[in-house]
Amino acid sequence: MESMKQSNYNGFLWGAATSAFQIEGQVETDMTDWERRGKFRADGKDPRVGDAADHWRRWEEDFRLLRDLGVNSYRFSVEWARIEPEPGIYNQSALDQYGRMIDRLLEYGITPMVTLHHFTHPCWFQERSPWHHTRAIECYLRFVNKLSRCLLDRVPLVITLNEPLVWTLAAYGAGKFPPGEKNLRHLMTAFTNMLRAHREAYDLIKHNHPDTQVGIAHNFIAFKRAPSGIEMDRKVKRLIHHFYNSMILEAFRDNRVKVSFPLMLSYDAPIALDDKIDFWGVNYYYRLHVRFRLSIRQPFELLSLVRSSGEGKSDLGWEIYSRGLKKVCRWLASTGKPIYITENGIAAQDDSLRLRFIASHLEMLDEILREGHPVKGYYHWSLLDNYEWLEGTKARFGLYHVDFDNGYGRTLKPSGGFYRDHIKKHSVYLPATE
């Protein structure tokens, strides 16, 4: 039993994940501009990023914390707006700092996984060529080309896009992220353009660095039909599962972005993806129940029935459902691609809840590996408490506590200690670090 367990973790990457905007601070992006214009206030929350977790200044300390955690990989993103504040004009000192960050990780024996786009943009990008314009693809590629030449030579794992569907839903569905439209056609065009941009970026990066593994991080949700419902619940659940979880996988398989949601949305666009993706990044957090609703505008309701799994809920009301992680890996089996769990975590002020969350999901990971799924790494979201989109700093996802009101001090939480010990126990086959 024990030996089977060990062999499962051979070469496994244990990591933590962050994104630039959520931790760095001191940067102007389309999102800070959005805040200034009071666009979040409509929700009655008005989150402010401020200095986020002050990571841009404290990265050396944070990387020591990362090393203390015993991880052998770290997923982070670079901030486009910082690197290219004006179109075609690059900020060399920002590129240099990202370069030093990558070098430091490598010195520590920590494999960098770098996300090139994690929700935020330079303001000029939103003003001139947001994603529903084809021009967006060129802008993104110019940026990727620069990165590929300056930074990516030492980066074995690259994520071109974080959750393109979640971003387009927020930007063109709910209208909460800039450009803040509610337009399903633009939503689908923007999503398709992002996948086209991925395809081009894939070719570009592989041309320069053939060994680099290039993937996308997609957010998966475990949908279930609402209990004691009607047959229509099942049908609507299937449609939503397809749109949210499968459409992107099928696009790579079939070279089409295709969805048909009776009365709401019908879209079919060719796209030459040719299965150009080396791995799938899985961002998995929770389950939702789906209930049919008699409404043409939105014929369904999404419910967080937190008592149904018996595992509790996060501070954001997300139902904890660890089995969902296995379901996702099973869905991905048909792609035949390696899987990295690029995000998994919980917003919880009560750290014992996070500890239980980590324990149950790592137990599930163990089962997933025993089932033979090609999961190559797990990255906990997040290394540090940070700025959560639409919520601010109250939603605490970190393995390290950040004292936002008092000098940004960092303290390891018991759940972080638990994760560190788990990594230690399961790291027997890791390549030796310095």
* Interacting residues toward ligand FCB by CB under 6 A: 19, 22, 162-163, 166, 219, 283, 343, 381, 388-389, 397
Amino acid at 128: R
Told to judge if 79 belongs to the known catalytic residues of this protein, a careful annotator would answer: no
Q: 3-state SS of 216-266?
A: EEEEEEEEEECCCCCHHHHHHHHHHHHHHHHHHHHHHHHCEEEEEECCCEE
For ligand FCB, the closer CB: 62 or 388: 388
Q: What count of other Cβ atoms lies within 10 Å of the Cβ of residue 88?
A: 9
The CA distance from 416 to 429, in Å, is: 22
For the bound state, the minimum distance from the C-beta of residue 219 to ligand FCB, rounded and expressed in Å, comes to 5
For ligand FCB, the closer CB: 311 or 343: 343
For the bound state, the minimum distance from the C-beta of residue 162 to ligand FCB, rounded and expressed in Å, comes to 5
Helix (H) or strand (E) holding 292: strand 279-292
84, 163, 319, 343: the active-site residue: 163
Dmax (CA) of the chain: 61
For the bound state, the minimum distance from the C-beta of residue 208 to ligand FCB, rounded and expressed in Å, comes to 26
Structure tokens at 143: 């940026």
CB 242, CB 190: distance < 8 Å? no
For the bound state, the minimum distance from the C-beta of residue 427 to ligand FCB, rounded and expressed in Å, comes to 26
Cα-based torsion angle of the residue sequence 345, 351, 352, 356 in order, rounded to the nearest 10 degrees: 10
* Distance (Å) of CA 322 to CA 114, 240, 349, 357, 415: 26, 20, 19, 8, 17
For ligand FCB, the closer CB: 166 or 273: 166
For ligand FCB, the closer CB: 283 or 360: 283
The CA distance from 78 to 58, in Å, is: 15
CB 314, CB 346: distance < 8 Å? yes
For the bound state, the minimum distance from the C-beta of residue 316 to ligand FCB, rounded and expressed in Å, comes to 8
The CA distance from 399 to 355, in Å, is: 9
End-to-end CA distance of the chain: 31
For ligand FCB, the closer CB: 47 or 130: 47
For the bound state, the minimum distance from the C-beta of residue 22 to ligand FCB, rounded and expressed in Å, comes to 6
Radius of gyration of the chain (CA): 21
For ligand FCB, the closer CB: 165 or 332: 165
Orientation angle between helical segments 135-150 and 184-208, nearest 10 degrees: 30
Compute the residue count for the chain: 434
Cα-based torsion angle of the residue sequence 369, 372, 373, 376 in order, rounded to the nearest 10 degrees: 60
For ligand FCB, the closer CB: 19 or 160: 19
The CA distance from 43 to 351, in Å, is: 27
For the bound state, the minimum distance from the C-beta of residue 329 to ligand FCB, rounded and expressed in Å, comes to 18
CB 257, CB 269: distance < 8 Å? yes
Task: Give the catalytic positions in this structure.
Answer: 163
